[in-house]
Amino acid sequence: MKLQQMRYLCEVVKQGLNISAAAEKLHTSQPGVSKQIRLLEDELGIDIFVRNGKRVVEITEPGKAILAIAERLLREAENLKLAGKDFSNEGSGSLVIATTHTQARYALPQTVKAFAQRYPGVNLVLHQGNPTQVAQMVISGEADIAIATETIAEVKELVSMPCHQWHHGVITPPKHPLLKEKTLSLEAIARYPIVTYDTAFAGRSRINRAFERKALAPKVVLTAIDSDVIKTYVELGLGIGIVARMAFDPQRDKGLRMLDADHLFESSTTRIGLRHGAYLRGYVYEFIHLFAPHLTREVVDVTMRGGGVDFEL
């Protein structure tokens, strides 16, 4: 039984049971992949896959159990490599963060700057996507840390911890009639076309719920995954915008005005997500702590082991 066989098995499943695609991804031959999986089945005494001729069409129930173990073994093999690197060269390596545009643009810059100064030998990479994409990047091993909103707390493959709470605000062009409202209300907002986040974002569901509770049907004329795109179209007069309040900078956004909407929409929570069983190098703990000071190494370790920790944000 070899790790190579485990790797072949996992890649075949990852490629939708397409052995040719798996072989291409693994830089080997299709017959070689098929042979190694057959040898593994012979050694275990079970069929991992259901076959129709030479085609793999389904994974068997015993195969699903084997797959879960194989995935765990590959993770632990990778953890062994990381542990060796951690002790042999603590100040070098790479750290890949998967996050949303708003977090990358507005929440993370100071953390990234401080981390880069402390660990100049670590190659820091930011991948952007919506919360679902961000979570998948960490699950697949493409990224080390996910930073997004509550959505990642619902992903069973990840351990998630709360970092910061944030609120939405309403942005308008200067001299917009909404600015004359003594107290901003959902009824007043619903009178105007709205530009806001795509439905893939947890914050958008909070916006929708607020209007639904008042039996209001706002006219959403454009959605985006990027706060800067929303602000651009508000400046162009397409509508008023509902964005994360952290995305508004009075110095940079001089063509816009921000109205406080804390009383209208539920707060959202930025969370960090890590893959179950992942080995965290020392500088990963440091990045997490820089971004969320309450997440010390001890707190992260307890949470990763499944322990309950009370967080106060």
| Residue 245, pLDDT score | 94
| Residue 196, pLDDT score | 95
Please answer whether residues 169 and 245 qualify as being in contact, where contact means their C-beta atoms are separated by less than 8 angstroms. Answer: yes
Please answer whether residues 268 and 131 qualify as being in contact, where contact means their C-beta atoms are separated by less than 8 angstroms. Answer: no
| Residue 281, pLDDT score | 87
| Residue 202, pLDDT score | 65
Strands (E), the chain: 49-52, 55-59, 93-99, 122-128, 145-148, 158-166, 168-172, 194-197, 220-224, 240-244, 257-260, 268-275
Q: Where are the alpha helices (DSSP H) in 214-260?
A: 227-235
pLDDT averaged per 10 residues in sequence order, the chain, 313 residues: 86 89 89 88 88 85 87 78 65 88 94 95 92 92 90 89 94 95 95 92 86 95 92 96 94 94 93 90 93 94 78 60
- Upper half-sphere CA count for residue 124 (Cβ side, 13 Å): 19
| Residue 308, pLDDT score | 62
Core vs surface per residue 221-249: b (16+ CB within 10 A) or e: ebbbbbbeebbbbbbeeebbbbbbbbbbe
| Residue 73, pLDDT score | 82
- In degrees and rounded to multiples of 5, residue 125 shows phi and psi of -125, 135
Please answer whether residues 56 and 12 qualify as being in contact, where contact means their C-beta atoms are separated by less than 8 angstroms. Answer: yes
